[in-house]
Structure 1
Amino acid sequence: MATFTRNQSPASCQGGAARTPLFCISICIVQHTIYSQTAAGSGRPSRMFGLAVIGMSCLKLLLLPAYRSTDFEVHRNWLAVTHSLPLDRWYVDQTSPWTLDYPPLFAWFEFLLAKVAQFFDAAMLDVNNLNYASPMTVLFQRLSVIVTDLVFAYGCKVCGEEVGRVGGMGGPGLLLVDHIHFQYNGFLFGLLFISIARMLQRREIESAFWFSILLNLKHIYLYLAPAYFIYLLRSYVLLGPFPARADKPQTSRLAQLLRLVKLGVVVGMVFSLSFGPFIMRGQLLQVLARLFPFRRGLCHAYWAPNFWALYNFADKMLVVVGGRLGWQVAKQGVASMTGGLVQEFSHTVLPSVPPVATLIATALSIVPGLVVLWRSPHSPWQFIRMLMLCGFGSFMFGWHVHEKAILMVLLPLGLLCLLRKGEAQVFMFLSIVGHFSLFPLLFTPQETPIKVTALVLHALFTVQVLRAQWGQPLLHAIENLYLLGLVPLFLLLELGPGRLGLGEGLPFLPLMLVSVYCALGVTYSWLKLTYLVIGSAWKFKKKTS
């Protein structure tokens, strides 16, 4: 979607209340209240939960004047496109560089928002008003995120009724990404949580319906689809409703076929309503070309902390070493990987990575988990674990992954951290590393107190809750030492290499080091979590066989 560079011009900010650690403390206390007060098995939200949601929504109003990224203009343009242009121009218009590249249901979501936006400032709905950001435009778009966040609150509430507490509510990621940087991730994760809750309640058709809605709002969740496919096929279509036995299905082939048709009708209906109007206009290929723009390159301008960040770094180090050893190394494109632009580039020493290679790597990373899921029918908690591993595998090896996609791992893992100690250990470590990796998104000095205080308080609250649950230190000495390394890295990121005497010729060195250092921690967490989930499943299967 939006390009991230250090040259983005931040919005003018006079909101002093949104700049103080006191604001962060208030936000985190309210989040922690939700985190710890969601009652298990409650048929209705507790009074404390409702008050906490209202309080958090009101506090977010203080962020109205905060920094906003180019994603703000992206969504303003989409409001204008869907309001001002006919349907057959939505995925064709190129007036703005921020063309519509989300699935059709999100386009209709913007269309509905525009119906309200016209009462705030109709000028924001003019496709030619590029970079338009009047006070009423800012007010409307910020409010739209706050209001749609109620879907996330509801999703956490229904998941909390199954879990007992909602660990995912305690993280600052959505606060930083949605309410400052500007996106609608909370609304989308709310739908994911609703789908997960329905699966936990063994209402598989409803779960599939909500996930289909989610896929047609943002296609990044396609990475989670394999877990849904395997679980629904095995546990719903083939075996039938719980408590069917895995070795003795209690239904006939006809019943299996009827369930498959029922599931297919529900999913097909959602996709037909979403893509149907564009298929009728012969624009399906155009829509798909917008959804999957492989020319954007392997990595985003700021490398997501994954395997490819380490791969890129290794290539750059080989260039440096090769130059000193007298190798013939072409240096064109070496700087392009850290040049702050979204574009295609070639590696210099290591082989360049085509999209198909990332697809194969992602598939290989999730196949073992899918095998475990197939062998664990009618186990919705195992489904959530594999859902999380699918998201993790796509983050580690996917094409053009954004750093914000780490939330697709952290939020489902937050549901699991109160169930097993091993998952709690990974969550505590990864939540700190993952949220720290989001810091470069907010590079203006005014936001520094917010992101630092939010992360520190989140870490303290997480330690309190998880130690109360498990009663022991959850991090090893080496993990603690690694986390301490984030402190000098933060100073380098905030002060810049010039002010630290490292020269002005390396403006993107801090971003590269943040990516690489966080990639080490994220990769460690992925390996540990994969071993924990898959290894424990195989051991359990061995004991019971």
Structure 2
Amino acid sequence: MAALSERSWSWSWMVPLVFGVTLLKCLLIPAYHSTDFEVHRNWLAITHSLPISKWYYEATSQWTLDYPPFFAWCCKCVNRRQESKEIMERPAFILAVLLLWNFGLLIVDHIHFQYNGFLFGVMLLSIARMFQERHLESALLFAILMNFKHIFLYVAPAYGIYLLRSYCFTENKLGGSIQWKSFSCSRLFALGFIVFSVFAISFGPFISMGQLSQVLARLFPFKRGLCHAYWAPNFWALYNVVDKVLSVIDVKLQLLDSAKLSKASMTGGLVQEFQHAVLPSVSPFTTLVCTLLSIMPAVLQLWLRPRGPRGFLQCLILCALGSFMFGWHVHEKAILIAILPLSLLAVENRKDAGTYFILATTGHFSLFPLLFTGPEIPIKIGLMLLFTVYSFSALRALFRKEGSLVNLPESIYLSALVPLQVICEIIYPLTAWQQRFPFVPLLLISVYCSLGVTYSWIKLYISVLMEPRSDRKMKAQ
């Protein structure tokens, strides 16, 4: 990927940009915060007050520690074109805004209260090291990242395959074609030593106390059910709503007991297991198989048709999207794992820019229900409008000579988000249905956004699989 240039940053515009982001975040301090604030505060109390042997057993509060031990301890992107300095700096500035002012990060970290900003910073730094061919540094950063938050296991296959293919195997050009030269056991040992050391430091104390199974049980609570309390906009949201429609039809036709319909509800807002009424219920193993099948084409292409760091980044994004689409108990915030890395591709070519705009718009809109009180409505709408208008206008200007970012059907789909928001936030709460069916707005947003996320995933997959092999490489500064 001919994108990450070796030219140094132009700090003249970065300083006011960073200052502006910081100021905005300070203004959000008195805003509503979710229960995650209490969750993390309780975790701090646990790790501060209790010995390490009791961290993953403490259950006095419902907010039990369920992050990996490391969390418990608590770029420039331009093509090398012969253009004016102003044009050369534009992609870098656009990328900086897409990352620093990302709407999802703003509301999730600074209103809903989490720590995704610094975690994604580590992730992007790891990606940059990969583009610089500093593979061991990249592996070290990613291993540390997974021990901060295990959700980044979503993209671990991309790291594993790329490091094995491009670092452990050395290549040589013979007769104009790239052929296998040898497999380096020393490189594999160095890579394995780094990863093993990080995990040993992280989990070692708990292994020595015989608590590994308890830690893993907290990190992977499969009893929480297929979907989060608020459905993430993925395949299972579509699956659930089809099950609901079929169950209602069966009740009308007297093929299904109405009592079973109520037991099959998945929108009560609680974290627990549910059974589908008509369609087969989904087990954790089923979601694992579906996830592996969804990422397999990207992983195989990364192994069989390596295209340098660009291919790695594409595979990483597809792994993130595949895991989001088919994973077990996926949180809606996990869409950011795909949106932020896709920002790097969005400033490179028009196709990726269009896919990014659709995914970012629908993915960010799906986060709206996280902020559900009245005072937050103008804040979330205003912030998203600013980010969406800027990203569209900036990317359209960047690729104005290559055509439009989105076609007519895509524009119609995205435009429909406006009346959907009006219905869910203004009209529906005034109706009598609000008391009897309070989950309908959540269902509408989740299902509608899942269509856009699914479309973006398919569109990106087609683009990646059809892309001709190129030996161009991105260089990171």
TM-score (norm 2): 0.90
Q: State the distance in 1 between where 2:41 and 2:198 align.
A: 26
With a CA cutoff of 8 Å and minimum separation of 6, indicate the structure with the bigger relative contact order: 2
Q: State the distance in 2 between where 1:313 and 1:202 align.
A: 45
The CA deviation at 1:537 is 4.5
Q: State the distance in 1 between where 2:15 and 2:429 align.
A: 48
Distance 1:383 1:418, change over 3 A: same
The CA deviation at 1:496 is 5.9
Query: Which residue of the partner structure matches residue 159 of structure 2?
Result: 228
Equivalent residue of 2:435, what SS?
A: coil
Query: Is the aligned partner of 1:456 residue 2:421?
Result: no
Query: Which residue of the partner structure matches residue 7 of structure 1?
Result: none
CA contact (8 A) 1:41 1:164 kept: no
Distance 1:53 1:366, change over 3 A: same
The CA deviation at 1:48 is 2.1
What code does the residue aligned with 2:415 have? Answer: L
Equivalent residue of 1:182, what SS?
A: coil
CA contact (8 A) 1:227 1:383 kept: yes
Distance 1:313 1:248, change over 3 A: same
Counting only pairs closer than 5 Å after superposition, residues 265-280 of structure 1 correspond to structure 2 as 265-280=193-208
Tell which deviates more after alignment, 54-63 or 297-306.
Answer: 54-63
CA contact (8 A) 1:105 1:216 kept: yes
Query: Is the aligned partner of 1:438 residue 2:403?
Result: no
CA contact (8 A) 1:372 1:537 kept: no
Quick one: which of 460, 463, 470 aligns to 1:532? 463
Tell which deviates more after alignment, 332-341 or 367-376.
Answer: 332-341
CA contact (8 A) 2:251 2:258 kept: no
Distance 1:41 1:164, change over 3 A: farther
Query: Is the aligned partner of 1:413 residue 2:378?
Result: no
Distance 1:161 1:179, change over 3 A: farther
Q: Percent identity?
A: 53
Quick one: which of 283, 295, 314 aligns to 2:211? 283
Query: Which residue of the partner structure matches residue 85 of structure 1?
Result: 50
The CA deviation at 1:502 is 3.9
Distance 1:399 1:242, change over 3 A: farther
Query: Is the aligned partner of 1:348 residue 2:277?
Result: yes
Counting only pairs closer than 5 Å after superposition, residues 117-266 of structure 1 correspond to structure 2 as 157=75, 164-165=92-93, 166=95, 167-239=98-170, 247-250=178-181, 252-253=182-183, 256-266=184-194
Quick one: which of 420, 438, 445 aligns to 1:514? 445
CA offset digits 1:3-22 (Å, max 9, x no partner): xxxxxxxxxxxxxxxxxxxx
Q: State the distance in 1 between where 2:185 and 2:200 align.
A: 21
Tell which deviates more after alignment, 162-171 or 503-512.
Answer: 162-171
Q: State the distance in 2 between where 1:241 and 1:197 align.
A: 24
Equivalent residue of 1:321, what SS?
A: helix
Query: Which residue of the partner structure matches residue 125 of structure 1?
Result: none
Distance 1:370 1:454, change over 3 A: same
What code does the residue aligned with 2:57 have? Answer: V
Equivalent residue of 1:202, what SS?
A: coil
CA offset digits 1:69-100 (Å, max 9, x no partner): 00000000011000000010111100110100
Query: Which residue of the partner structure matches residue 226 of structure 2?
Result: 298
Query: Which residue of the partner structure matches residue 320 of structure 1?
Result: 248
The CA deviation at 1:495 is 2.5
What code does the residue aligned with 1:348 have? Answer: A
- Which runs of no fewer than 5 residues in structure 2 stay unpaired? 81-90, 472-477
CA offset digits 1:29-82 (Å, max 9, x no partner): xxxxxxxxx994333561321332133213311111100000000000011000
CA contact (8 A) 2:68 2:147 kept: yes
What code does the residue aligned with 1:394 have? Answer: S
Quick one: which of 404, 417, 439 aligns to 1:473? 404
CA contact (8 A) 1:69 1:181 kept: yes
What code does the residue aligned with 1:234 have? Answer: R
Tell which deviates more after alignment, 514-523 or 353-362.
Answer: 514-523
CA contact (8 A) 2:287 2:326 kept: yes
Quick one: which of 74, 85, 109 aligns to 2:39? 74
Q: State the distance in 2 between where 1:417 and 1:428 align.
A: 8
Query: Which residue of the partner structure matches residue 138 of structure 1?
Result: none
Quick one: which of 511, 520, 523 aligns to 2:454? 523
Tell which deviates more after alignment, 470-479 or 295-304.
Answer: 470-479
Q: State the distance in 2 between where 1:242 and 1:508 align.
A: 60
Query: Is the aligned partner of 1:381 residue 2:310?
Result: yes
Distance 1:444 1:385, change over 3 A: same
CA offset digits 1:176-202 (Å, max 9, x no partner): 100001000001000000000000111
CA contact (8 A) 2:172 2:178 kept: no
CA contact (8 A) 1:212 1:267 kept: yes
Aligned pairs, how many?
A: 453
The CA deviation at 1:241 is 10
CA contact (8 A) 1:329 1:348 kept: no
What code does the residue aligned with 1:258 have? Answer: S
CA offset digits 1:388-439 (Å, max 9, x no partner): 0000000000000011011011101111011121111111111111111000
Backbone CA RMSD of aligned residues: 2.4
Equivalent residue of 1:504, what SS?
A: helix
What code does the residue aligned with 1:461 have? Answer: Y
Equivalent residue of 2:436, what SS?
A: coil
CA contact (8 A) 1:355 1:399 kept: yes
The CA deviation at 1:240 is 6.0
- Which runs of no fewer than 5 residues in structure 1 stay unpaired? 1-37, 110-156
Query: Which residue of the partner structure matches residue 491 of structure 1?
Result: 422
What code does the residue aligned with 2:189 have? Answer: V
Q: State the distance in 2 between where 1:270 and 1:459 align.
A: 39
Q: State the distance in 1 between where 2:103 and 2:371 align.
A: 13
Q: State the distance in 1 between where 2:468 and 2:79 align.
A: 25
